[in-house]
Amino acid sequence: MGSFVVSARKYRPSSFGTVVGQKNITSTLKNAIKNDHLAQSFLFCGPRGVGKTSCARILAKTVNCFNIADSENIEACNECESCKSFNDGHSLNIYELDAASNNSVDGIRSLVDQVRLAPQIGNRKIYIIDEVHMLSQQAFNAFLKTLEEPPEHAMFILATTEKHKIIPTILSRCQIFNFSRISVADIVSQLERISKSESIEAEPRALHAIAQQSDGAMRDALSMFDQIVGFAGNKMTYEHVIENLNLLNEEYFFKTATAIYEHNVSAGLLIFDEILKKGFDAQHFIVGLGNHFRNLLISQDPKTIHLIETADNIKKQYYEQSKLYNDVLIIHILNALSKCDVNYRSSKNQRLHVELCLIFITKSDLVEKKNDKPQITTIQETVSTPPKPAPNSPSPAINQETPPPPTAPPPQFDSLDPSSGPHGVTDSEKKRNQILKAVSSPSKSAGSKLKGTISIADIMAKKAQEDDAKKDEPIMPFTQEEFLTAWHASILKYKDGGKINLYNTLTKKNPVVDANFNFEIEINNSVQEESITVEKLELLAELRIKLKNHKINLITIVTESKDEYRPYTTLDKFKKMAVKNPKMIELHKRIDLDINN
C-alpha cells in the first residue's frame, strides 16, 4: 500500500509555469534571470498559502540549474545534477530558516557564518527566511550587515505574511514582491486539473464552493479538497462539500428570495428556522442573504454577471431569479439586511431581530400587491416608475404578478467577456433613461404615496398590545403632561445618538394621547417611516414601563402633504434641483452620480 501524499505537497508547483495565480511575479523573476539582473535580496509578502515559499524554492532551483542559459523558457531543466539534488531535497545550496520557530539571535548567527562559504556546485547559495517578521530585534540587527553587503554567491529570500512588521532598514534593502490572493477561478481550474489527474469526478459547483471557502489560499483549498475526497471517494458533489465544510446551502437563499418575492412571510420564517436548527448562526444567514441579493443585483447586467464567482449553471439560476426583482427594490432589501447585520450584536433578542428584518423586507410592498395599484411606500416607486405609468413606458417588473419578458436575451454564461453583446448597453441605457425620466418629472407628492400603508411595526405593536392586554399588565391612568415628560425623556437619546432626523420627526408636534392610550406621529416619507419602524417597539416598551401602562400605542399617520413637495432623501433633493436646473440631469449622466439613498 503506497503512502498517501497530501495534494498540497503532491501538486506543489515545481516550475514557474506551474505556479498558480502569480503570473506577474513569475514573469518578472524569469525576466530578471534572463537579463542577469537578479537582485540579491528579496522580500516576498502576501497572505499564507499563496505560493511564496514555493516561488522561493523554484527561484533557488532555477538560478542554480546548469542548463538555464540554454532554456528558452527560463525554467529549470530538472535533469542536471543541481536540479536533481534540488528535487530530491538534498541540495546544499538552499538553506531554509523558519523564523517563527527559530527566531533567536543564535539561529541568525549560524546562518550568517554559513553565508561566507561559497557553494560547492552551482553558483548561488539561497537563504530562505520564512515568517521573517518573527525575528527578534537582536536577530534583525545581527542580520542587517550581511543583508547590506552579501557575498556575491549569496541570495536572500525573506517571506512574510505581515509586511507592516518589517523594519524599514530591511525593507529598503530588499526587492519587494507582493503576492496576491489567488482568484476563485484560478483555484477552481487548478482543482479541476488535480481532479482529472486523480480520476475524481467533481461537480463544478463543489469546486467553486471549496475555492470560495479557501479565501485565496491554494494550500487551504487543497487541504479541503483532500478532506472531502476522503469522505466522498472519487465522486464529489456540492452536498458533500457543504456537509464537510459546514456551509450553508445556497439553495436556502434562492428559496428565501422566492418567499420574499411572493410576500410569503411564513415560508421565509420557516426557512430561517430550519437554518437555525441546523446549527447555523442567524447573522451568518443575514450576511449570506445579503450576498445573494448582491448577486441578484449584478446578474441584472450582462456586463457585471461575471463578478459572481460560481459555476455557470448557478449564474444562470441567479439571472433567472434576478428578473423577478427591480434593481431599486434589491437595493432597498440590501439596505435593510445591512442594517440588520450592523445592529445584530447589540440586539438582545437576535432571533427576533433577524425575523423582523425578514418580515420587513417580505412585506415592504404589501399594499401595492393587494390593491394592484402603483401606490406604494417602497423606494423603487420614487426612482423608476412615475405614479401613473404611460401606456408605452416599460415599468419595472417587481410589482406585477408576472414579470415582463426580458428585453435582452440571456447572457452567454460560458463567455465571461464583460463587453459581450450590445444588449447590455441598451438595457442599462434604458434603465438610466427611466431614472432620468422620473427625475425630470418628479411625482407630485412623496407623501401621497404613503397613504394607506400598513407598517409592519404597526402590526407588531398591535399584536404586542393585544398580547399584553391578555396578561395582567398594569393600566395606570396618566395626564397628558406626565405623558409628554416621559415622551421627551424617551426620545432624547436619538438627539444624543446622532439620529437627528428621527428626533426632528418625533418632536415636530407634541403627540396627544386619546382615551384608548393611543397617540399619533405624523410622517410624510418612507425614510421617516423606516426609521420609526426600527425604533418603535423599543420606544413603546420604554413609555409603557415609565407610565406603568401597557396599552400605550404609537400610530404612524401618513400625512398627505398638499403643500409643496418636500425633499427628504438625497434622490428627492436631486429631483428638486433638477426641476430648477435641468443641467443637473446632464451632470448626473456625465459623472454617473450615485443618488440612490
Summarize as ranges the residues that interact with Zn ion (CB under 5 A): 65, 67, 76-77, 80, 83
**Please, which residue, 73 or 114, has the CB nearer to Zn ion?**
73
DSSP secondary structure letters along 307-344 = GS-S-HHHHHHHHHHHTTS-HHHHHHHHHHHHHHHHHH
**Please, which residue, 17 or 404, has the CB nearer to Zn ion?**
17
Q: Which among 553, 545, 550 has a CA at the least distance from the CA of 521?
A: 553
Bridge partners for 521 per DSSP? 556
**Please, which residue, 62 or 146, has the CB nearer to Zn ion?**
62
Q: In angstroms, give the least distance from the CB of 83 to Zn ion.
A: 3
Q: In angstroms, give the least distance from the CB of 192 to Zn ion.
A: 30
Q: In angstroms, give the least distance from the CB of 82 to Zn ion.
A: 6
**Please, which residue, 91 or 455, has the CB nearer to Zn ion?**
91
The alpha-carbon radius of gyration of the chain (Å, integer) is 32
Q: In angstroms, give the least distance from the CB of 79 to Zn ion.
A: 6
Q: In angstroms, give the least distance from the CB of 24 to Zn ion.
A: 25
Asked if 51 and 186 count as a contact pair (C-beta separation under 8 A), the reply is no
442 is written with which cell numbers? Answer: 418628479
Amino acid found at 183: S
**Please, which residue, 13 or 49, has the CB nearer to Zn ion?**
13
Distances (CA, A) of 275 to 238, 247, 272, 339, 373: 18, 11, 5, 21, 35
CA–CA separation, 539 vs 490, rounded Å?
7
> What is the CA 381 to chain-centroid distance, rounded?
27
Q: How many CB atoms lie within 10 A of CB 44?
A: 28
**Please, which residue, 29 or 211, has the CB nearer to Zn ion?**
29
**Please, which residue, 77 or 595, has the CB nearer to Zn ion?**
77
CA–CA separation, 334 vs 361, rounded Å?
9
CA–CA separation, 190 vs 475, rounded Å?
69
**Please, which residue, 50 or 65, has the CB nearer to Zn ion?**
65
Asked if 325 and 261 count as a contact pair (C-beta separation under 8 A), the reply is yes
Q: In angstroms, give the least distance from the CB of 81 to Zn ion.
A: 8
Q: In angstroms, give the least distance from the CB of 61 to Zn ion.
A: 8
Q: In angstroms, give the least distance from the CB of 110 to Zn ion.
A: 29
| Strand, coil or helix: 176 | strand
Q: Which residues contact 177 (CB under 8 A, 6 or more apart)?
A: 25, 28, 29, 42, 43, 44, 45
HSE of 429, CA atoms in CB hemisphere, 13 A: 7
| Strand, coil or helix: 553 | strand
**Please, which residue, 65 or 257, has the CB nearer to Zn ion?**
65
Q: In angstroms, give the least distance from the CB of 42 to Zn ion.
A: 21
Q: Which residues contact 448 (CB under 8 A, 6 or more apart)?
A: 375, 560, 561
Q: In angstroms, give the least distance from the CB of 9 to Zn ion.
A: 21
**Please, which residue, 67 or 561, has the CB nearer to Zn ion?**
67
DSSP secondary structure letters along 53-70 = HHHHHHHHHHHH-TTGGG
Distances (CA, A) of 108 to 40, 145, 152, 582: 18, 12, 19, 71
**Please, which residue, 29 or 184, has the CB nearer to Zn ion?**
29
**Please, which residue, 26 or 528, has the CB nearer to Zn ion?**
26
DSSP state of 16: G
Q: In angstroms, give the least distance from the CB of 316 to Zn ion.
A: 48
Q: In angstroms, give the least distance from the CB of 46 to Zn ion.
A: 27
Max intra-chain CA distance, the chain: 100
Asked if 288 and 253 count as a contact pair (C-beta separation under 8 A), the reply is yes
